[in-house]
Amino acid sequence: MCENAQIDYGHVRIFVTTQLIFFMSGFILPLNEHALIICLLSGLTLFNAGNVAAETLEDAWNIAIDNNHQIKSAKADTSASEQQVYSARGQRLPELNVNTGYTQLSETPAAKADFGGQTGQFNTSQAGSVKAQAIASIPVFTSGRISHSINAAEASLEAARHNEISSVLNIKMQVAEAYVSVLRSEGALQVAQNHVDSLSKFHQDVNNLYDQGVVAKNDVLAADVELANARQLVVQASNRLDIARAHYNQLLDRKLDDEVRLAREFPETPPGTLAELSNSALTQRPELVVLAQQIEALEQQAKSVKAGTMPQVAVNGGYQYQENRYQAFQGLWMVNIGMQWKLYDGSTGHSSDAISRQALALKEQRDDLNSTIALQVRQAWLDIQEARQRIDVAQQAIAQADENMKVTTDRYQQGLSINTEVLKAEDLRTRAHDNLNNAGYDAALANLHLRRAVGNL
């Protein structure tokens, strides 16, 4: 049985223990020279055998980005915002309207005239006639209404794009958490299975000693109960692993029972001090850009609404046709320039103020998000420091627990200790390995949380 050892491959370090192998970046465990050669060979064998076609975290992210429905929804929102920009810009282009219709009057329109004291009547148009026109209109001055509308649409587009980035980061974080959960569950299952193997060996030793009349029947019963409890822990750990794999597959839009083979490697910890990381987060987080652009869009919308009450000048021109055999020219070309100015409107001012207040509300949310992001960075950074210390402590505890188990077992076989001491030693040994498993993956998860908090996942 090999002791704990470390194998360093550049930025990825492989930690080999008596019960599990896992990868971490930036976390160094003590190296035991006596076990290095054996563990190096066994570790590389397990590494090559266990990671054939293993899926990396980067692979999982790419699959999720391509298949995840939330990201597809965010991309659709971005596409919709692009169309809104085209719509806003289209307000500057000419507008062409064509309409036609047929009118039937009950009487033929006529006019009366007085000629030399005698009254006469003559028709002015037909009782039934067709009317058609094609009129083009182009705005030449809108007091900034169209310009502010375009600016609002462009700001909304930028907000949608960064919201898409935020959605990608959120999904990547969810995938990373599920990825770590699968690996943690695999390690926990391995620890639980090794616990069963150890108790099975002890159970066999107890039975042999009982057959020799060295120990009492009570020792056999106690060993039976502890072994049964350990097997129950394996069942529970196996169930948690199946659930973790199903959740992982669900995030990647796969069948829930698809096989999951994951590589035990993670990104490096972001460099820099806590203050530097916090400042970097405030400049990189897409959520802040989303709020800033949404604020800009609302402010521009408010200005556009208010500009609608100011002078609006447009040029109109086209062709008009009126069927009338009494008229010298039934078809006429026309052009005109017109201005519209709302001198009083009881609702537009309030609409503009309402939009401005929505912008103020988002500014408060942005200020709150600044402090929330700083807290997220600090918490993740502290979690990394805690996990590193726990790894060191757990590594020391494993060496002590293994030695304690060996000594206690030897004493029991020599009749110098009781079975409860062996069972307690085994429980301590299992807990130490479980603590190392959790500390290692807590460190990996804290590192990923820090990268997410900084906005560089």
| Residue-level pLDDT at 122 | 82
**34-89 tens-digit pLDDT:** 333 333 333 433 444 444 578 999 999 999 999 888 888 999 999 999 999 999 99
Residue 262, beta-bridge partner list: 55
Q: Report the C-alpha gap between 435 and 20 in whole angstroms.
A: 12
Q: Could you tell me whether strands 5-9 and 128-141 are parallel, antiparallel, or unpaired per DSSP bridges?
A: unpaired
For all residues of the chain together, what is the average pLDDT?
86
- Lowest pLDDT segment from 10-14, 193-197, 224-228: 10-14
- Quick check: 416 pLDDT over 50? yes
C-alpha count within 13 angstroms, C-beta hemisphere, residue 347: 0
10 Å Cβ neighbour count for 346? Answer: 6
**305-348 tens-digit pLDDT:** 999 999 999 999 999 999 998 888 889 999 999 999 988 888 88
Q: Check: CATH 3.30.300.30 for 57-76+155-292+360-454?
A: no
State mean pLDDT over 377-401: 94
Helices (H) and strands (E) in the chain, counts: 9, 9
* Sign, CA torsion 283/288/290/294: negative
Percent of the chain topping pLDDT 90: 70
**271-294 tens-digit pLDDT:** 999 999 999 999 999 999 999 999
Looking up tokens 């076989």 gives: 413
b/e string for 57-90 if b means 16 or more Cβ within 10 A? beebbebbbeebeebeebbebbeebbebbeebee
| Residue-level pLDDT at 99 | 95
| Residue-level pLDDT at 25 | 36
Task: Give the H/E segment covering residue 342.
Answer: none
| Residue-level pLDDT at 63 | 92
